[in-house]
Amino acid sequence: MCTSRRHFLQYSLSAASLLALGPQALAGPAKNKKKILVLGGTGFLGPAFVTAAQARGHTLTLFNRGKTRPDWFPETEKLRGDRDPKKDEGLKALEGRKFDAVLDTSGYYPRMVQASAELLAPHVQQYIYISSISAYASDQTPREDESAPTAKLADPTVETMGTNYENFGGLKRLCEEAAEKALPGRVANIRPGYIVGPLDGSDRFTYWPVRFDKGGQMLAPGTPEDPIQVIDVRDLAEWLVKVVEDNTTGIFNATGPEKPWNMGGVLATCKKVTGKDTKLTWVPAEFLAKHGESGDGSIPIWMPPTGKTAGAHLRSNAKAVKAGLKFRPTSVTVKDTLKYFKELPEERRNKPRAGLTPEREAELLALWAKEQPEATKKKGP
């Protein structure tokens, strides 16, 4: 939360300038301008998409509750309502409206996706639903494509994510099905991996360049070869504009980068961007698991490439790449993410939402150093 109007304006202008970098996948105005409805539009992916679509000359309408960044995109039409048709005015503002395409960035429960998809079905050509690679049943098999088995819920009517978000993937898959049922053959179900870059409020990927920039002794999880897949929000947004322009439908894994990346590459890129000589201590996954850090918890995004997470960062993106998905250099993503975080208000920077606390990191490093002599003995002749 910004503490003053001045901070708000600085924050907004900084984010807008970062989102405006590119586009990478598209250049110049579109040949066929389209009317696009965005369900959401002011969170993370939404602003990046609006920025990219407006740069191509498309006409945007945003439908949301008006609670997140209501002052953004002042020249853009905004409709107020709620995704839940049972709350307040619900979807009434959308009744009778016609659009060429709909981008659904805010659908988490199938009942609500069904309501918007059925209402809009007679009046739109294409419905793009932002799902997740969490929609798959398992992460055990590396390099699976869109034909892999998907998650299922014992209770398909549940409307809670669960204590540990265990329902998230199954709910996303049900939302996909709800959209496809309402608009058969006219839906693009997009399954991103970890979306990163400017405006990322989760701080998950942000933790790595921010921590590296602080210097000192840094815990690096697993091995340098452990794979990592992320997608810059701007790359995803620009490709979604192309999906609209090409009237693309089907299911797509949307993750990257273009060339395989790994944990060593992430930290090497952080070193290149920050110029800091941060000292890395690589701590094995087995040791971390023994001390309660099994991956994608306090150590964000990283997961060991074995067992149930063997394929978590190795999803095939070949279908999306064939459909035009492009990627900017990973160094740009790291640089812009760090820049965005550094320009946030101080009180926000002091309360990171992901990553090891300094105390926990120091504790784990001390425990690992203590065990090293025993580990060395066991490896001896």
In this predicted structure, what is the pLDDT of residue 353?
97
The DSSP code sequence of 276-294 is --PEEEEE-HHHHHHTT--
d(CA 187, CA 280) in angstroms, rounded, equals 45
Question: For the purposes of burial, counting CB atoms within 10 Å of the CB of 155, is it exposed (0-12), middle (13-18) or buried (19 or more)?
Answer: exposed
Sorted by sequence, the CB contacts under 8 Å of residue 313 that are 6+ apart come out as 193, 226, 227, 228, 229, 303, 305
Provide the residue-wise pLDDT of the chain in tens; the chain has 381 residues. 444 454 444 445 555 666 665 545 566 788 899 999 999 999 999 999 999 999 999 999 999 999 999 999 999 999 999 999 999 999 999 999 999 999 999 999 999 999 999 999 999 999 999 999 999 999 999 999 999 999 999 999 999 999 999 999 999 999 999 999 999 999 999 999 999 999 999 999 999 999 999 999 999 999 999 999 999 999 999 999 999 999 999 999 999 999 999 999 999 999 999 999 999 999 999 999 999 998 888 999 999 999 999 999 999 999 999 999 999 999 999 999 999 999 999 999 999 999 999 999 999 999 999 988 655 545 443
143 conformational bin, left if phi > 0, alpha if psi -120 to 50, beta if neither: left
d(CA 336, CA 196) in angstroms, rounded, equals 10
In this predicted structure, what is the pLDDT of residue 29?
87
d(CA 109, CA 178) in angstroms, rounded, equals 10
DSSP letter (8 states) at residue 187: E
Asked if the bond preceding 257 is cis, omega within 30° of 0, the reply is yes
pTM of structure: 0.93
Contact 37, 124 (CB under 8 A): yes
d(CA 28, CA 179) in angstroms, rounded, equals 31
d(CA 287, CA 283) in angstroms, rounded, equals 7
Asked if the bond preceding 23 is cis, omega within 30° of 0, the reply is yes
Contact 2, 345 (CB under 8 A): yes
Q: Per DSSP, which regions of the chain are E strands?
A: 35-39, 59-64, 77-80, 101-104, 126-130, 187-192, 194-196, 217-221, 227-232, 250-254, 256-262, 279-283
In this predicted structure, what is the pLDDT of residue 296?
87
Give the SS3 label for residue 336. Answer: helix
What domains lie within the chain, and their CATH numbers? 14-370 (3.40.50.720)
Nearest to 68 by CA among 91, 44, 42, 48: 42
Q: Give per-residue burial for 334-358: e unless 16+ CB within 10 Å, then b.
A: bbbbbebbebbeeebeeeeebbbee
